[in-house]
Structure 1
Amino acid sequence: MQHGTCCGRWIGYVAVSSDEEVRRLGRRDVLVTFRGTVTSTEWIANFMSSLRPANLDPHDPRRDVKVESGFLSLYTSDDSTCRFGQGSCREQLLGEVSRLINKYQDEEMSITLAGHSMGSALALLSGYDLAELGLNRFQQQREIPITVYSFGGPRVGNTDFKERCEELGVKVLRVVNVHDPVTKLPGLFMNEHFRALGETYQFPWSCSCYAHVGVELALDFFKMQNPACVHDLGTYIGLLKCPKMVQVHKEGMVDLLAMAKMTLRKHKLQAWPWQDAARQVGNLVQSLGLI
């Protein structure tokens, strides 16, 4: 996939499980992965922290569901002047996922989206988009589960966006480092922790507060000689493989990490390591019913 704000810049890809993998998983999994920030345009988008209505379903705009304007722009923008472009990231994604769903509609299916940093924001936007448009539903009779795996990801939308994702059944696992500043943005102050007094009184600005979506798997790692490691994808994946090296800040997650360690050891991680991590940890999370 490419996004139109940077003349055909490659940002992710869509893959589908082989027949051998289908026999192992028991279903046909469509995997969508997104990389993190690379270009100057993407860095600028990361800091466009104003909220805008997502408005991804023209038949039901839901003006109260708002997302970060920069992420939305990266997802929906189309540069028609680029000879390498094939439409916006959104158009390419919806087209390919729809094609795969139609191709394998007689099989048991699942949709998995994963990304690091900015890529995790695009993964969550995509998962919400697919569910909001109902592309994962077959005439209200069968629903394809959508799961998002976020590695070091920022907040994406407001509390209404969070609640709508939950209502649509989009499952999200956020793997975060407690020292990673990216996971605390946007909404450093105006976030889910500052929208209500107790659980009864909603502040007037609550609809403008950012909120994380899903279940958090919190890791704790920091190296004084290399502060940048707090947001490094390789470190995230490495610590999932060796959970004894970190502290886990969510009850009930220790067993998950131990199981993840055993399964991830069986797979050699390639250039895009989170595709294996998301798939393997995802199977464990879903089987344990954590999300």
Structure 2
Amino acid sequence: MTKVAIMRRLLTGLLACALLCPAIASSAVGAYNRCKTRPHINRFDSRLATEYGNLIDLAYQMSGRAAPPHEFTPPYDGLPPEYNFIAWVRMNDFTPRGRIRPKFYGIIVQRKSDPNSFILALRGTNSGIEWFDDFMSIFPVALPGFPGKIGEGFGRIFGSMEVIGADGQPTDKFGHGFVNEFRAAILGKLMRRATRMGANEQAAVLDRVNVEVTGHSLGAALATLYVAANARDRQLRISRIYTFASPLVGNTEFAAAFENLRVDSWRIANPFDVVTVLPAIGYSHVDRLEPVNSGNWVNRTPICLHSMTTYLHLVHPPILLDKSCAWDPTVPGPNIGGHTS
């Protein structure tokens, strides 16, 4: 059986289970009960989670506005005034026939209150092709130079990630990998004529930089891979990663190596969200879990249980659910029965 045929059968079975089988929730809960925990430098901060979630939500909104001639560089209207816009992030999706045209996936911003503080925010799965990329991740491959194995689909997309500066042009490190392109974008913002600086001068500037990373769904997996690859290449100091609805990115060896990076890492997950327990075999979550519970107030559909808006509401209840996802016990359909709190 071909790889594509395997994927079709797996996708069909998983979607049917998510739609028709409430037992998926209890299976997910069991997986989280087996989650490892370890001490962290900082406690989970819901204020930061809300800040990061809003930036991811902005990336989703921008993706909805991505159209020629700005399909890779959509307008960042709505960026809160406390940030400077630094760059767009684009990457390729893949189909059984190979790589397709790049798409906009995320943003890099700078805090105005601290010019040395930067945030990478990556959106998640937004089309059928991107779901194919997700499910291709059951096949383990190496992340070169980092212990363990990762999902093939995640690794392939990560390898295609590129940075487009605020001027609409690639960085001077274009084609040298996302880690180097990200570093070049930061350096270019902090120092004019950065390419003419000596190595010692560049190092002095970058030593003061602090990077925070966040992502949702597929973007959460890619954010995790960026943190690992950045540590491998010893580029920038990353103090924190908060992910929402992350799938399992790598095997046990990968997860253990990631946890040794001493990054303040939090994985925000709703146990009723099927994406957070995939791929189900041969993979381990990175620490540390911050559970949120959709309870009886979120419509029990895969989209509602997984959406960024739902996660924002669960982290910060004043942010309202999408109306289509608010559970109504009087309406027959997929939401009947709710969840066990």
Residue 239 (structure 1) aligned with residue 307 (structure 2): no
> Shift in Å at residue 221 of structure 1?
0.8
Query: What do you get for the CA RMSD once the two structures are aligned?
Result: 2.9
> Which residues of 2 match residues 54-203 of structure 1 at below 5 A?
54-55=143-144, 61-62=145-146, 64-77=147-160, 91-92=177-178, 94-101=180-187, 103=190, 105-106=204-205, 108-136=208-236, 144-186=237-279, 188=280, 190=281
Residue 260 of structure 2: SS of its match in structure 1? helix
Distance 1:217 1:40, change over 3 A: same
Residue 9 of structure 1: SS of its match in structure 2? strand
**Can you list the C-alpha shifts for 1:121-174, whole angstroms capped at 9, x where unaligned?**
0110111111111002xxxxxxx2332111111010011111111222233201
Contact 1:42 1:74 in 2 (8 A): no
Contact 1:3 1:85 in 2 (8 A): no
**Can you list the C-alpha shifts for 1:220-266, whole angstroms capped at 9, x where unaligned?**
11457452321111111112112xxxxxxxxxxxxxxxxxx8xxx9x
Give the fraction of aligned pairs with identical amino acids, expressed as a percent.
Answer: 23
Distance 1:75 1:33, change over 3 A: same
User: Any gaps of 5 or more consecutive residues in structure 2?
Assistant: 1-88, 94-99, 163-167, 192-203, 320-341
In structure 2, which of residues 130, 133, 139 is the aligned counterpart of residue 50 of structure 1?
139
State the number of aligned residues: 201
Distance 1:12 1:225, change over 3 A: closer
Amino acid at match of 1:127: V
Residue matched to 1:41:
129
> Shift in Å at residue 78 of structure 1?
7.4
Residue matched to 1:194:
none
Amino acid at match of 1:165: F
Which deviates more, 27-36 or 222-231?
Answer: 222-231
Distance 1:167 1:89, change over 3 A: farther
Contact 1:149 1:174 in 2 (8 A): yes
Residue 7 (structure 1) aligned with residue 80 (structure 2): no
> Which residues of 2 match residues 215-234 of structure 1 at below 5 A?
215-222=288-295, 223=297, 225-227=299-301, 228-234=303-309
> Shift in Å at residue 93 of structure 1?
5.1
Distance 1:232 1:100, change over 3 A: same
Amino acid at match of 1:211: S
When normalised by structure 1's length, the TM-score is 0.61
Contact 1:131 1:170 in 2 (8 A): no
Amino acid at match of 1:67: I
Q: Distance in 2 between matches of 1:90 and 1:45?
A: 23
> Shift in Å at residue 215 of structure 1?
1.1
Residue 31 (structure 1) aligned with residue 125 (structure 2): no
Distance 1:31 1:155, change over 3 A: same
Q: Distance in 1 between matches of 2:305 and 2:183?
A: 33
Residue 15 of structure 1: SS of its match in structure 2? strand
Amino acid at match of 1:231: H
> Shift in Å at residue 99 of structure 1?
4.0
**Can you list the C-alpha shifts for 1:84-124, whole angstroms capped at 9, x where unaligned?**
99698983453133442573744743211111111100110
**Can you list the C-alpha shifts for 1:193-239, whole angstroms capped at 9, x where unaligned?**
xxxxxxxxxxxxxxxx3111121111111457452321111111112
Q: Distance in 1 between matches of 2:246 and 2:108?
A: 20
